[in-house]
Amino acid sequence: MSILRALLVIPLVFLASFILTGRSDGFFLKQFMFDDNKALDKWSSMVLNGKVDYELIKSGDNGFIKAESESACSALYYRIGFKAKEYPILSWKWKALKFPDKSHANTEKEKNDYAARVYVIFPFLNFSTSKFIEYVWAEDVPEGTILNSPDGKNIKMIVAKSGRTTGDDWMPESRNIYNDYKAAFGKAPNLDAGAIAIMCDSDNTKSAAEAFFDEITIASEITGEKRRIQ
């Protein structure tokens, strides 16, 4: 009888601890601090037009991603499925030190280079029905502007940061992707997000760009203070 009781109680204890542990960290769906040497192992690379150099830089215990593009365009993406309504907050830190030279760019396609982008990808059965939000750091477009991508009507670019910054400071960003999706596409997302990505590109302008990314977090609400979880 006691063995039977133990067999019943032990799984319940595990279940309870799992639920309680989940609740305590359920605030965050995922947090990428890039402090670990293997932090980029689960990120995949997609080369579009020449490979951008994405490097994991360690500074003491802390780490971040440095992206350098020389007339190149490639992205790093991480597959993670989540409902934008349940985990609407995407936050990250970034800085852009070198912007693509758009002085000679005339067409929208030629201008489609940004020092830093953060993507939220809502994949469906094919490209034409999938939706994409790109948060871009633009040099010359006002913050909050929603741009149509020259690559398709399902790709909306939201200018999250505009202009050059003074100094070498990290700029924190926090976006509500559920609200941004509604603002960009005119309706709430009916697809789950399937991946996030970062990119630095300068291939269209045949110039150079340099950006840094850190502390990418997907959370259920805006965090009061940054917590580090692994």
Q: Which residue ranges make up the site for another protein (CB under 8 A)?
A: 46-49, 73, 75, 77, 79, 112, 119, 121, 123, 125-127, 130, 132, 134, 149, 151-152, 154-155, 194-195, 197, 199, 201
Residue 189: partners with Cβ closer than 8 Å, 6 or more residues away: 84, 85, 122, 131, 178, 181, 182
Residue 120 C-beta: closest distance to another protein, Å: 11
Which among 102, 111, 76 has a CA at the least distance from the CA of 199?
Answer: 76
Quote the CA–CA distance of 54 and 212 in Å, as a whole number.
9
Quote the CA–CA distance of 142 and 2 in Å, as a whole number.
69
Residue 192 C-beta: closest distance to another protein, Å: 14
* Type and span of the H or E element at 23: helix 2-25
131 vs 161, which CB is nearer to another protein?
131
Residue 37 C-beta: closest distance to another protein, Å: 25
Residue 160 C-beta: closest distance to another protein, Å: 17
Residue 25 C-beta: closest distance to another protein, Å: 27
The two tokens of residue 106 are 């005339």
29 vs 52, which CB is nearer to another protein?
52
75 vs 158, which CB is nearer to another protein?
75
Which among 49, 61, 66, 101 has a CA at the least distance from the CA of 208?
Answer: 101
Tell me which amino acid residue 227 is: R
Quote the CA–CA distance of 197 and 92 in Å, as a whole number.
12
Residue 152 C-beta: closest distance to another protein, Å: 6
63 vs 209, which CB is nearer to another protein?
209
32 vs 35, which CB is nearer to another protein?
32
112 vs 217, which CB is nearer to another protein?
112
The two tokens of residue 84 are 């934008």
